Structure 1
Amino acid sequence: MHHVALIASDYARSKRFYTEVLGLPVVHEQYRAERQSYKLDLQLPDGTQLELFSFPSPPARPSFPEACGLRHLALRVADMAASLRLLAAHGVVAEPVRTDPVTGASFTFIADPDGLPIELVGPVPGP
């Protein structure tokens, strides 16, 4: 996968969440005056990118989480407990951590400022 594109209702708030809270580095940012829109390219550790867009008055997400379209964004974390402590320090609330019955991986969900579900997937516990 090359990238996933997201549209934010409040560009500054979402930019802060993805860069400061989730710690994603900025690759490129531009304001497109003809569209009254920002486009922010963010780098994930594996080389995949997130594109964060702003548009004037985007429609709200119709339902949570089962809206048609992108259901959630899943991010791999090396240490679930450490990741949750860091997020909690920024006021981000996570659902209880669960274990996938098929893979054995730990996972939980948080939400971005617009309510987009973000799944955190931790490593499968060792023997």
Structure 2
Amino acid sequence: MTSGVRRERNIPGAFVRTLRICRECLIDRDLSRCVIVIGAPARSADSLVPVKLDLLSPGIEVGLVTTDLAPMVAFYEDFLELEPQGEIEFDGGTQRRYSLGGSVLKLVTYTTPPPAPAAPGGGRAQAGLRYFTIGVNGLRAVGEAFEASGYEVVEPVTEFAPVPGMGWMFVADPDGNHIELFGTL
């Protein structure tokens, strides 16, 4: 019986791909019987050829996977007043799209929800992509609106000492995703 787990790693001189891990290897914590060496030697950083991306659009698209869409829509669409671009259905789920300057924010739901919830706590809780940043004019007014709203203010408006008149703050959406807001005070 196999678990179907996929793992990839580099070892000196070869690319190794574990295609399937059998139950015995999982129990014994010895994957050596399941490792299959394929093809070419591993590349060093010196032999990598860079890829210059020819961007289709000037912004990025950020996808936030949620298991409770209504409060997320209330936050992004009703409170932050992001402009809706519409909803797209795909095999196994949907996404609601919002304009965010030259970028797009997507609220994604899956027919079968992910087993693990969003990991709250921003960058101090877990490595990886932990927050995104939005530049705004009038940050103090935005901070006051957040304080009055009942939405979580993670770190209040703080002036950025090296650049007088500029500041930043962190807030959290209903799923606990952190958002850094920065801009003119």
Bucket of the pairwise TM-score, normalised by the shorter protein: 0.7 to 0.9
Per the alignment, residue 170 of structure 2 pairs with 109
Q: Is the 8 A contact 1:71 1:117 kept in 2?
A: yes
CA RMSD after TM alignment:
2.0
Q: TM-score, normalised by structure 2?
A: 0.58
Per the alignment, residue 159 of structure 2 pairs with 99
Q: Is the 8 A contact 1:98 1:108 kept in 2?
A: yes
For 1:82, the aligned partner's letter is: A
Distance 1:106 1:71, change over 3 A: same
CA positional deviation for 1:63: 5.4
d(CA) in 2 for partners of 1:40, 1:63: 22
Most deviating of 111-120 and 54-63: 54-63
Q: Which runs of 5+ in 1 are unaligned?
A: none
CA positional deviation for 1:99: 2.7
Q: Which runs of 5+ in 2 are unaligned?
A: 1-58
SS at match of 1:97: strand
Per the alignment, residue 65 of structure 1 pairs with 122
Per the alignment, residue 9 of structure 1 pairs with 67
CA positional deviation for 1:60: 1.7
CA positional deviation for 1:62: 3.8
Using CA pairs below 8 Å that are at least 6 residues apart, which structure has the higher relative contact order?
1
Give the greater-gyration-radius structure (CA). Answer: 2
Distance 1:16 1:62, change over 3 A: closer
Q: Is the 8 A contact 1:21 1:87 kept in 2?
A: no
d(CA) in 1 for partners of 2:147, 2:161: 26
Per the alignment, residue 22 of structure 2 pairs with none
Distance 1:60 1:26, change over 3 A: same
Q: Is the 8 A contact 1:75 1:119 kept in 2?
A: yes
